[in-house]
Chain A
Amino acid sequence: MTGAALVGSIPWEIPGPIWLLKPLLVFAFILHLLFVNWMLGSMGLSVLAEYLGRRKGDERYFRLATDLSKWSIVNKSLAIVLGVAPLLLVSVLYSGFIYPATQLTANTWLILVPWLIGALWVCYFYYMRCDSWMARDRHLAIGLAGTVLLACVPLLFATNMVLMLLPELWWNTSSFFQALFYPTVWPRLVHFYVATAAMAGVFVMAIGAVYAGRGEQEAGYTDFVVRWGAGWAFWGTGLQILAGLWLLFSQPEKVFAAFWGGPYTWLVVTVFCLALGFMLWLQRLRTRGAGRVWQRRELLRGLIVFVTVILLLMATTRHLVREIHLEGYTRGHDRNIAVLICGDPDKEAV
């Protein structure tokens, strides 16, 4: 069977103009992903902070671990609920692609539900024992277990998002573990995990910014939190540039060509420059002399501007990758999408 013959469709109009729904998907998706990064990142860094606090005997790490574990609870719920709109939009706009990909990995999707419930319970338990069990082995072990359980979940999501782009491989795909090793899945995952580290750094800095508004008595803790977060954001962004290049070079020829010399080269160049700019800004913060007071407004402004622009451009890039992948399959299947990407076939005939 050819891939094109397997792409089905839903015989009902797409409920809105494509020019509205696709940007909505890009926006809703990146908002969801940001909170997914934060949920995993705040959990992971919470455990790490607890470990460092124990090794260095530094109470500030314990306080940060408690702050982060509390926020990880909120981030998790928001990540889940923010997932509704992107799932809704991707299901409506790409029905013929997302449904087969989901069904081919069905068993793993069904396991995801109890898996995530278990993971969240572990994380709640970790949070609720922050006061009484801080720095104990078992508390660290629980936190680590929660982080690992959460960290496994993106494997399925990334695999599904890649599998939906590859109809030519569907006929011989029978399980998630097979699809997990399809081309670009692992570079994509690495790009996600490194982003999580960078975004977790951003989140820690945002916590620092909140404390920055609380005046003199919190100055020491604020300084510690901002610098620690900036370190994660700095190194995370640096690594992310490399991970992004790896992902770009792992793309199939037609996608790679579009971003490397093709019409979307400007995106790659712009994001690269912005990432470097972000790193420079972070480095300036990191090397600032001790004793200077952090300004909440200054920190938040920098974070919001850099992160919003970079994320929106990266989300657009990701969307374009999908569109280029599916170019050959959409004609005649899902009319609305076909018309948008390939032009109206009927009009061409005239």
Chain B
Amino acid sequence: VDFPVHVSEYLGMNTLIALIAIIHVMISHGAAVGGGTLVAYLEYKAIKTQNDELDRFAQRMLRVFVIVTTTVGALTGVGIWISTTIAQPASIGFLLRVFFWAWFVEWLVFITEIVLLFIYYFSWKRLSEPGKANHARLGRYYAAASFGTLVLIVGVLSAMLTPGDWLTTGSFFDATFNPTMLPSLFFRLFLATSLAGIYSLILFRLFGPKQSDGSQRIIPLLSRWLLVSAVLMIVALVWYLAKVPAAATALLIWGVGFKSAAMFWGINLAMMLAVLLLAAYLWRKPPQQLSWLAVAVIFVSGMFFTFEMEMARESARKPFVIHNYMYANGIRLQDSTAINQKGILASARWSRVKDVTADNRLAAGREVYVMECSVCHTVDGVNARRDMKKITAGWSWAAIDGYVANLNSFRSFMPPFFGTEKERQALTDWIYSLRGEKQ
């Protein structure tokens, strides 16, 4: 409660972060880590089989990946940083300090990655040109650097959910090598290669060589890549879920937005099966040309799954932003007693109202909302499930007040209310006033 709170009226900052992060994952994983690996692999295959059409296709794929990763990929990465800084300064400030040297090394790896990417891209050679083997080696270095960027960031992300011994020892190494670090690394690696496989099928449909011997050999290559990646990813996912706390697993389904577990499993298993079967079919019986329908089914499933996983990862942590250390609204566990005594308004450096009086109840209530709720909740926002007005529509004053007083028992994924009784009642007043009626 040391920093100002920026209220995002329509989405809520946490939803905005999640959206930026999902786009970032689709590109950083699919086009950079997975894409780099796949292009390097295809170039290697092209040399080995002297398939010039495959070589040209790999080059064109790389061009798309270069443009997408260096624009949307890079900037959404910056976007995650900006949006988390705005929404969660206390949390991100803490993480930057704990993982400072990891991020510093990440910076060096990023520079290496970008430099290699541009050299690799601008120096692409035809199969017949001298130095082609060296060029292919450059591709492997680029893929390795991309993988390096993934390793470092996975340490940070997994520690936020499963800090392990870190919270007691405070050691950077305990934080990085936390219980879910390895499973999430492998999960993300194979998610990356799967996404790359999916993108490659779309790109092949868009500008792959057609109706020739060379093209006949490319579709099986790409679909086999996708199939193997997807299977490995599922194995890693099972491993990961086994390491995640049970309470967090239960939150996954809710976090994605499904009403029932049956629906969640039904849709996911159906999509996964569809992708696996299609990939297997394309591998064993490659058609003359890919059908848009097959490509669309694979693409939509892949995007939906990525979206789901990121949403789930974000919500699995709840009610914390850093497990057992800091709540989603930036309040530290260890500060909660002091805040309950002193009041949230008096504790918050930037609150515009410092005390609840008879005249300022609504203004004070809104300020409490800004400090404690607005990171996730909105008023008249796009997501009805997070909209304070819609959630409490038709509730009596006493019902709202009772709910706020026992938030964490009603909703295990929400932090408890922090502050004095007067502040809680002011918050209730304000929530009640949203419907435009007088009490």
Given A91-B96, A102-B86, A106-B6 in contact, is the A117-B72 Cβ separation under 8 Å? yes
Q: Does A250 reach chain B (CB closer than 8 Å)? A: no
Contact A13 B78 (CB under 8 A): no
Q: Which A residues are CB-close (under 8 A) to B94?
A: 10-12
Contact A84 B103 (CB under 8 A): yes
Q: Which B residues are CB-close (under 8 A) to A85?
A: 104, 107
A80 to B90, CA, bound (A): 24
Q: Which of A4-24 contact B (CB under 8 A)?
A: 5-6, 8-16
Residue of B nearest to A8 (CB): B2
A60 to B148, CA, bound (A): 42
Contact A103 B75 (CB under 8 A): no
A326 to B96, CA, bound (A): 22
A82 to B122, CA, bound (A): 21
Q: Which B residues are CB-close (under 8 A) to A76?
A: 70
A109 to B6, CA, bound (A): 12
A104 to B3, CA, bound (A): 10
Q: Which A residues are CB-close (under 8 A) to B104?
A: 85, 88
Q: Does A116 reach chain B (CB closer than 8 Å)? A: yes
A78 to B119, CA, bound (A): 13
Q: Does B308 reach chain A (CB closer than 8 Å)? A: no
Q: Which of B42-100 contact A (CB under 8 A)?
A: 67, 70-72, 74-76, 78-79, 81-83, 85-86, 89-90, 92-94, 96-98, 100
A70 to B76, CA, bound (A): 23
A103 to B98, CA, bound (A): 22
Q: Which A residues are CB-close (under 8 A) to B76?
A: 113
Contact A77 B3 (CB under 8 A): no
Q: Does B381 reach chain A (CB closer than 8 Å)? A: no
Contact B86 A15 (CB under 8 A): no
Q: Does B106 reach chain A (CB closer than 8 Å)? A: yes
Q: Which of A8, A11, A124 is within 8 Å of B349, CB to CB?
A: A8
Q: Which of B110-118, B155-163, B227-235, B362-370 contacts A (4 or more CB under 8 A)?
A: B110-118
Which one of A78, A95, A102, A121 has the highest number of Cβ atoms from chain B below 10 Å of its Cβ?
A95
Main secondary structure of the interface of B (DSSP, over half): helix
Contact A74 B100 (CB under 8 A): no
Given A9-B2, A15-B97, A84-B110 in contact, is the A77-B118 Cβ separation under 8 Å? yes
Contact B3 A99 (CB under 8 A): yes
Contact B6 A116 (CB under 8 A): no
- Smallest CB–CB gap between B423 and chain A, Å? 20
Q: Does B410 reach chain A (CB closer than 8 Å)? A: no
Residue of A nearest to B335 (CB): A11
Q: Which A residues are CB-close (under 8 A) to B6?
A: 103, 106-107
Contact A92 B97 (CB under 8 A): yes
Contact B349 A81 (CB under 8 A): no
Q: Which B residues are CB-close (under 8 A) to A107?
A: 6
A187 to B74, CA, bound (A): 30
Contact A81 B114 (CB under 8 A): yes
A-B contact pairs, 15 of them (CB 8 A): A5-B349, A10-B94, A84-B106, A85-B107, A88-B96, A88-B103, A95-B93, A100-B4, A102-B82, A103-B85, A104-B4, A107-B6, A113-B20, A116-B75, A121-B71
B: residues with CB less than 8 A from A are 2-6, 16, 20, 67, 70-72, 74-76, 78-79, 81-83, 85-86, 89-90, 92-94, 96-98, 100-101, 103-104, 106-107, 110-111, 114-115, 118, 122, 332, 349-350
Task: Give the top 6 A-B pairs by smallest Cβ distance, nearest first.
Answer: A8-B2, A15-B100, A113-B79, A106-B6, A10-B93, A99-B89
